[in-house]
């Protein structure tokens, strides 16, 4: 089964947000979720276009932090509960410190102007954007077309991350589709995601 067929089986509710791109304005009105959406969507497009991973990380973490902060203030956040269950009690500061260390390095130079990060895996951006997209959905918003593609692409590459309670057909399809792209070189995996972006957007516009 091809990776493209996999996306035909996904059932995430998605919405088309092409208005901001088609009608650029000199002034915009934006709230926190909208700011995070723009950052995450832009980072996803940059990721699939194989652009600078440092710039992608900066955008991805900016959007992630907004969505995480919003979710942390909600008692009913399923994502926040799921992440908290994965972290050992008392280890929360260390976990978030590690999560934020590289983005903090990219933002500040007042205390560590000569510091060098030499062990950064650019694929961490995949995980950040995946979790950020799920946070966005968990906050009551529909996945954008770009988030929809990213989530499906990530699930196909990493079926081990799919919740055991997910629909059996979704799990089976993700695992089968992943075989067609997991063996590809990284650049071809990204190109596959890039190819899917306009397909999903056009499908939304046709509805």
Provide the residue-wise pLDDT of the chain in tens; the chain has 207 residues: 455 555 555 554 544 454 545 565 577 788 999 999 999 999 999 999 999 998 999 999 999 999 989 988 887 677 766 666 545 677 666 656 556 665 555 554 456 555 554 556 688 899 889 889 989 998 999 999 999 999 889 888 887 766 666 666 666 666 766 778 888 999 999 999 999 999 998 888 787
Residue found under tokens 């590459």: 157
Q: What is the reported pLDDT for 197?
A: 94
Helices and strands: H and E segment counts in the chain: 10, 0
Pick the closest to residue 127 from 161, 96, 97 (CA basis): 161
Give dist(CA 86, CA 40) in Å, integer: 24
Q: What is the reported pLDDT for 129?
A: 93
Residues in the chain: 207
Q: What is the reported pLDDT for 117?
A: 45
Whether 13 contacts 200, CB under 8 Å: no
Q: What is the reported pLDDT for 114?
A: 52
Give dist(CA 185, CA 30) in Å, integer: 38
Beta bridge partners of 143: 14
Residue found under tokens 């516009």: 205
Q: What pTM, to 2 d.p., does this model score?
A: 0.73
Joined tokens for residue 202: 């056009």
Pick the closest to residue 80 from 139, 29, 129, 28 (CA basis): 139
Q: What is the reported pLDDT for 163?
A: 64
Distances (CA, A) of 77 to 27, 34, 62, 86, 137: 32, 18, 19, 15, 10
* Residue 38 CB contacts under 8 Å (≥ 6 apart), including other chains: 20, 30, 63
Q: What is the reported pLDDT for 34?
A: 96
Q: Where are the alpha helices (DSSP H) in 52-91?
A: 53-72, 78-86
């Amino acid at each position: 089964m091809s990776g493209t067929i996999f996306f035909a089986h996904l059932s995430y509710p998605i919405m088309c947000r092409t208005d901001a791109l088609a009608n650029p304005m000199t002034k915009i009105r934006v709230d926190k979720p909208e700011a995070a959406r723009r950052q995450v969507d832009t980072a996803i497009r940059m990721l699939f276009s194989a652009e600078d991973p440092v710039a992608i990380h900066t955008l991805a973490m900016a959007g992630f932090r907004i969505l995480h902060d919003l979710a942390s203030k909600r008692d009913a956040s399923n994502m926040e509960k799921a992440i908290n269950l994965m972290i050992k009690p008392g280890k929360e500061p260390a976990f978030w410190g590690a999560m934020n260390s590289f983005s903090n390095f990219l933002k500040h130079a007042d205390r560590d102007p000569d510091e060098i990060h030499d062990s950064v895996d650019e694929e961490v951006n995949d995980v950040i954007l995946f979790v950020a997209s799920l946070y966005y959905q968990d906050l009551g918003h529909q996945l954008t077309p770009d988030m929809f593609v990213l989530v499906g692409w990530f699930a196909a590459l990493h079926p081990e991350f799919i919740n055991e309670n997910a629909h059996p057909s979704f799990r089976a399809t993700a695992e089968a589709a992943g075989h067609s792209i997991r063996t590809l070189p990284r650049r071809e995996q990204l190109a596959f995601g890039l190819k899917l972006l306009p397909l999903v957007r056009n499908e939304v516009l046709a509805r």
